Every structure is written in structure tokens, then in C-alpha cells.
């Protein structure tokens, strides 16, 4: 297996038609075997996305062909079954061509996605993107879940440059550990020490698969995954708390509570990083927890306050 780095350019010429060529047709081909007036012009046009309306833009040159075929069949009736077989084959080929055309094309999806961004945002804000090209100074470090439904750029409308973002399963912050959790450590370190963010926000969310996985780990601790259950066990204290305090609630309600308690466990874990603790005590960084509920369309936000105060001697 090789990694081939041929980089196709952004030309839109990616042709997904499997040899069917370019032609025009009506979606939902209806073969009319009766004689009809062939009153359409003969044009060859490029392939287009199918349109439901009945307009004659796609030229009906096939109607002439069908008229000729039906004339032949009415003259030579014994050709009927041969014709039927050939027509079936043509229909199948055309159906495949349609399917290919409407099949999801990831390359194209990425390409059009970028072109949309370039045209609607990048080129319309040259000052912003010019400044960002030189450097970033986000005020937020955000931990969000990898879930496709909870991107902070969407749900909190973060613009480019505003938030340094870590995304992992169930938006967890593990405690300081150079061996086991270097990825999270590096991100926090870079954000706090180098970028000097002013806020660290941990955002949980509804229907979190990772939290559900945590709540589903059997009591005897047997796991069946390579990584997931090990990772989500970071927030085992949240599970313990939820099970002891709300054992009478349904499983999904317990999961909902656990989503929020796990955020609190992560906030506490943030304080195990000396550079975070120092910044929080100095009040140069604020820690915030949040929960996005995409079932009800709600967002809640809370602070973690932490300080060290001296006791005056009596």
C-alpha cells in the first residue's frame, strides 16, 4: 500500500460518469412506443442536475429514435422480444449512469466546500484574513466533543481567530500526565502559556455517545474497545456521583446529568496543570463549563471560581 501524493488541482473537471458520456435525457425515461410527432430539435447538450419540470431544454432526439424503432417493430413484429431485451439493457445502463451522477463524491464535496468559503468569507474579508495570516490571538481555549453536531464555530458562532479548539470524545480534559495525555497537555500549554488565552471553556452536549459509553461500562469494569472506554473513564467520578445521587432516574436522564457532571470533572482536572492553576489564581484565565442541548435548543454556561486566600493570623 502506497501513499500517493498526486495532488489534483482544484479544477471542476472531475468526471464521475462511468463511460456513459455526456448526453441529455429526461429523468424517468418514458418509452413511447406509439407514433408521435417528432417536433423537437436535435441538440447535444451537456449533462445537468435533473430538473422535475417538464421543459424541453433537454432535446428529445431520442424521440425520433423511438419513433423509428416503433415503426420498425410495427413492420416486423417478430423483432419484439429482441427489441425488449435490448431496451432493458439500455435502461439499466442509463439507471447506473444516473446513480453514479447522484452518488456522493467526497472530493467534490471538499472542493465545493472550500470554494464556498473562499468566495463568501475569505475574499470578502481581506483585512481580517490578512491579519490572521500573520498570527492568531484567540481569547478562548475551547474543549468540545468530536460529535459532528456540536462544532463551536456553528453553535457559538466563533469566527476565525477567536477560539483555539480541542475536540475529542466527550470533550474531556484528563489530569496532568506527560505519558498518557501529552496531546491535551500540549494544547493547554500552547493556549495558556504561548497564546495567553483568557478563558478555557469545556462544552458538553446532549446525547453524547462518549458519556453514554461511560455510563454503559459494566460494574465489573470489563471493556471491549481498544481506546474508547479507557478514554471516557477519565470522567468516572462523574458517573459515580450521578449513579449515587440519581439512581431512580431513567438511564437517559442519568446520562444527561453525567454530561454536565463530566464537564465539572474536566474543569477540576484543568487545575492539575500548574500553568492553568497559576493563571486562574492570577485571574488572567477564567474557567467556564457549558452544556449544549440540541434536542431542546438550549445552552447553559457556568463559572468555576477558584482562589487561594490567605488567613490572617489572629
Q: Per-residue string for binding with another protein, 121-140, x by CB under 8 A?
A: xxx-----x--xx-xx-xxx
Nearest-approach distance from CB 251 to another protein, in angstroms: 17
Could you say which residues in the range 288-307 bind another protein, by CB under 8 A? 288-290, 292, 294-295, 297, 299-305, 307
Nearest-approach distance from CB 308 to another protein, in angstroms: 10
- The H-or-E segment that residue 200 falls in is strand 199-205
- Which among 147, 235, 255, 291 is annotated as catalytic? 147
Cβ–Cβ < 8 Å for 236, 214 = yes
**Which residue in the set 194, 218, 222, 283 belongs to the binding site for another protein (CB under 8 A)?**
194
Could you say which residues in the range 51-110 bind another protein, by CB under 8 A? 104, 106-107, 109-110
Nearest-approach distance from CB 277 to another protein, in angstroms: 13
Note if 194 is an active site residue: no
**Which residue in the set 160, 236, 246, 249 belongs to the binding site for another protein (CB under 8 A)?**
160
Nearer to another protein, 34 or 194 (CB): 194
Euclidean distance between CA atoms 110 and 116, whole angstroms: 10
Nearer to another protein, 13 or 314 (CB): 314
Cβ–Cβ < 8 Å for 126, 118 = no
Distance of CA 210 to the CA centre of its chain: 17
Note if 145 is an active site residue: yes
**Which residue in the set 11, 15, 81, 179 belongs to the binding site for another protein (CB under 8 A)?**
179
Nearer to another protein, 97 or 263 (CB): 263
Helices 274-281/182-189 angle, 10° precision: 30
Euclidean distance between CA atoms 26 and 63, whole angstroms: 11
User: Which three cell numbers mark 310?
Assistant: 490567605
Cβ–Cβ < 8 Å for 203, 285 = no
Nearest-approach distance from CB 311 to another protein, in angstroms: 7
236 binds another protein (CB under 8 A): no
**Which residue in the set 66, 262, 267, 276 belongs to the binding site for another protein (CB under 8 A)?**
267
Note if 255 is an active site residue: no
The separation between the first and the last C-alpha atoms of the chain, rounded to the nearest angstrom, is 74
Cβ–Cβ < 8 Å for 144, 165 = yes
Euclidean distance between CA atoms 37 and 53, whole angstroms: 21
Question: Cα angle vertex 159, ends 155, 163, to 5°?
Answer: 80
189 binds another protein (CB under 8 A): yes
Nearer to another protein, 59 or 233 (CB): 233
Q: Could you give the 3-state DSSP secondary structure of residue 63?
A: helix
Residues designated catalytic: 145, 147, 149, 205, 208
Amino acid at each position: 500500500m502506497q501513499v500517493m501524493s498526486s495532488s489534483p488541482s482544484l479544477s471542476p473537471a472531475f468526471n464521475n460518469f462511468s463511460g456513459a458520456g455526456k448526453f441529455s435525457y429526461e429523468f424517468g425515461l418514458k418509452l413511447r412506443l406509439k407514433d408521435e410527432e417528432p417536433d423537437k430539435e436535435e441538440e447535444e447538450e451537456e449533462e445537468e442536475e435533473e430538473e422535475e419540470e417538464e421543459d424541453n431544454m433537454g432535446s428529445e432526439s431520442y424521440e425520433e429514435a423511438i419513433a423509428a424503432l416503433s415503426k420498425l417493430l410495427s413492420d416486423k413484429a417478430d423483432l419484439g422480444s429482441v427489441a425488449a431485451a435490448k431496451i432493458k439493457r439500455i435502461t439499466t445502463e442509463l439507471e447506473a449512469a444516473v446513480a453514479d451522477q447522484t452518488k456522493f463524491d467526497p472530493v467534490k464535496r471538499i472542493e465545493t466546500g472550500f470554494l464556498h468559503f473562499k468566495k463568501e468569507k475569505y475574499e470578502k474579508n481581506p483585512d481580517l484574513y490578512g491579519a490572521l495570516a500573520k498570527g492568531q490571538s484567540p481569547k478562548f481555549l475551547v474543549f468540545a466533543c468530536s460529535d459532528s453536531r456540536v462544532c463551536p464555530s456553528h453553535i457559538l458562532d466563533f469566527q476565525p481567530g477567536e477560539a483555539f479548539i480541542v475536540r475529542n470524545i466527550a470533550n474531556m480534559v484528563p489530569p496532568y500526565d506527560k505519558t498518557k495525555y501529552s496531546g491535551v497537555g500540549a494544547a493547554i500549554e500552547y493556549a495558556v502559556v504561548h497564546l495567553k488565552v483568557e478563558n478555557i471553556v469545556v462544552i458538553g452536549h446532549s446525547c453524547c455517545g462518549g458519556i453514554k459509553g461511560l455510563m454503559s461500562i459494566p460494574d465489573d469494569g470489563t471493556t471491549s474497545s481498544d481506546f474508547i472506554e479507557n478514554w471516557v473513564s477519565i470522567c468516572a467520578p462523574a458517573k459515580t456521583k450521578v449513579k449515587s445521587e440519581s439512581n431512580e432516574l431513567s438511564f437517559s436522564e442519568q446520562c444527561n446529568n453525567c454530561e454536565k457532571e463530566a464537564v465539572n470533572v474536566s474543569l477540576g482536572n484543568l487545575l492539575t496543570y500548574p500553568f492553568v492553576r497559576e493563571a486562574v489564581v492570577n485571574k488572567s484565565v477564567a474557567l467556564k463549563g457549558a452544556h449544549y442541548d440540541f434536542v431542546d435548543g438550549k445552552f447553559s454556561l457556568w463559572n468555576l471560581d477558584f482562589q487561594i486566600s490567605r488567613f490572617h493570623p489572629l
